[in-house]
Amino acid sequence: MHPGLWREIWILVTIAVLSLFFGVLTGRPFLIAACGFGFYIAWTLRHLRNLHRWLLDRRAGDMPEAGGLWGEVFDEIHKLVKQASRRQDQLSGMLARFQNAASAMPDAVVVLSQAGDIEWANRSAATLLGIHYPHDVGVRLLNLLRVPGFAQYLERGEYAEPLEITSPDNREVHVSIQITPFGSSQKLVMGRDVTRLMRLEQMRRHFVANVSHELRTPLTVLGGYVETLQQMDQIRMEDLKKHLSIMHEQSQRMQRLVDDLLMLSKLETAPPRTQVEPVDIAALLKSLVEQATLLSGENRHDITLEADPSLKLLGSREELHSAFSNLINNAVRYTPAGGKIRLSWRPTDDGAEFAVTDTGEGIAPEHIPHLTERFYRVDTARSRASGGTGLGLSIVKHVLLRHEAKLEIESEVGQGSTFSCVFPAQRVERG
C-alpha cells in the first residue's frame, strides 16, 4: 500500500486508541472520540478548502503546503497543472505560428463559421476580397462579398471547380475562389490572384487570332490564283508570269511570318547562353549595309556606317544579326526614297551602343511604348505593303534582353527616328 495512505491510517488508529484511553480515564469515551475525529475531519476539510481556493485562482499564489497524503495529492495536482499549462503554451505558440504563416500567405484565407459568418481572415483577404480582420469578424461573408455568381456558388455546395470573380475593391484584379468545408460545417475560403494568368491567356488568344489573321490573306490570295489557273484551258505566258509572281510574293510573306515566329519562339524558350563569343560588330554591320542597299534598290537611300572595329560584343552572332538587320530594314522601309540612314557602333561611358538614325516618317509619341509588342504597327497597311510582319521590334527586344541591353527610341513625326541598342560594359571587349 502507498506509504502516505499508511500514514493516514496510522493517524486514525492513533486517534482511536488515544480517544479510548482518555475516554476510559474520563468516563466519556464517545465525547473524546467525537472530538478527536472531529479535529481530524476539520484538518482534512481545511486542506480541501485550500486546494479548492487554489484551483479557482491559480495565479493568486503558490500551491498550499501540506504534509502526508495531502501533500502528495497537492504535489501530483501541481505536476498535472504544470504539464497542462506547458501544453497549452505549446498549442497557443503553434496556433500563433500557423496564424502568422497564413497571414503572410499571398492568397486570401477566410474562415467561416457554420452560419457563414467570418471568424478569421488573413492580410491578403483585405486586398483581394475586401475583408478586414478583425473588423469584419461576425459579419456574414455574403454581405461583404457582393460579386456576381458568388452567392449561388457558396450556397450550391459543390466546390470541386473554383469560381473566378473580380476583386470588389479593384476591377482589374481577378481572383479564383476555392472553398473547402472542414470540421463541423465550417468553411475555408481561399482566394488566389490570377490576374497575371488571365492576362497571359488573353495574350495567347490574341496571338493565335493575330497569326491566323496574318496567314489568312496570303493563303486566300494563293488559293484564288491556284483555282483560277486550274479553270483556265489556255493562258498567255506573260499573264502566267504575272500570276506566279504574285503567288511567289504571297508565299514569301508567309515564309517571313513563319521565320519571325520561329525566331521569337526560339528566343523566348531557349535558356540564356552560357557560352558567348566576341562578335565583330563592325564586320557584321558591313554585310548588313550591303543587304540594306539591295533592299533600298531604286529608292537609293544614302546609307552610311561608322563603326569602331576594335569594339567587340560578347553574345550570339546569329541573334545580334537578326536584331540589327530588323532595325536597319525598318529604317529602309519607313524612310522615303533618297532619305538618309546613319549606322553607328561606338563605345559609351559604361559600355557600347549601336544606333540607327533615319530621316523617315517618324513615330508619334503615343505609339512608342507599344512598338515592341507583337503585331503592333502604327500603320498596318503600310507595314504589310513593305513586307513587314509586325514582329521585328519584338525580336529586337528579346535579343537585347538576352544580352542585358536595352532599346531606346527617339522619334519625331516628319523628322525621323533613332533606335539605339545600349549594351553594358560587361558585354563589351576591346581587341
Which residues form the interface with ligand ADP (CB under 6 A)? 326, 330-331, 334, 358, 360-361, 363, 371, 376-379, 383, 388-394, 417
Residue 150 CB, nearest approach to ligand ADP (Å): 42
Burial group, residue 208, by CB count within 10 angstroms (0-12, 13-18, 19+):
exposed
Sheet-wide strand order for 108-112: 118-121, 108-112, 186-193, 174-182, 163-166
- Local structure of residue 60 (DSSP, 8 states): G
Distance CA 354, CA 343 (A): 7
Contact 429, 278 (CB under 8 A): yes
Residues 6+ apart with CB under 8 A from 363: 371, 378, 409, 411, 413, 417
By C-beta, is 192 or 402 nearer to ligand ADP? 402
In the complex, least distance from residue 359 CB atom to ligand ADP, rounded to whole angstroms: 10
Would strands 108-112 and 118-121 be described as parallel, antiparallel, or unpaired?
antiparallel
Nearer to ligand ADP, 19 or 326 (CB): 326
Q: Which is nearer to ligand ADP, 93 or 338 (CB)?
A: 338
Q: How far is the CB of 358 from ligand ADP (least distance, A)?
A: 5
Q: Which CB sits closer to ligand ADP, 67 or 387?
A: 387
> Nearest Cα to 139, choosing from 119, 117, 120, 122?
117
Helices (H), 105-149: 123-129, 141-144
The pair phi, psi for residue 371, each rounded to 5°, is: -60, -30
Q: Give the nearest distance from C-beta 140 to ligand ADP in angstroms.
A: 53
Q: Residue 165 Cβ, how far from ligand ADP at the closest point, in Å?
A: 36
| Residue 398 or 427 with smaller CB distance to ligand ADP | 398
The minimum distance between CB 295 and ligand ADP, in angstroms, equals 13
- Tell me how far, at minimum, the Cβ of 320 lies from ligand ADP, in Å: 16
Say if CB 424 and CB 352 are below 8 A apart: no
Shortest distance in whole angstroms from residue 300 CB to ligand ADP: 17
| Radius of gyration, CA atoms only, the chain | 44
Q: Which is nearer to ligand ADP, 113 or 330 (CB)?
A: 330
Closer residue to ligand ADP (CB): 32 or 396: 396
Q: Residue 342: beta bridge partners?
A: 304, 357
In 65-114, alpha helices (H): 68-104
Measured from the CB atom, the residue of 19 and 330 that comes closer to ligand ADP is: 330
CA distance 188 to 66: 51
**Minimum CB–partner distance for residue 387 and ligand ADP (Å):** 8
Residue 189 or 363 having the CB closest to ligand ADP: 363
CA angle 295, 296, 298 (to 5 degrees): 120
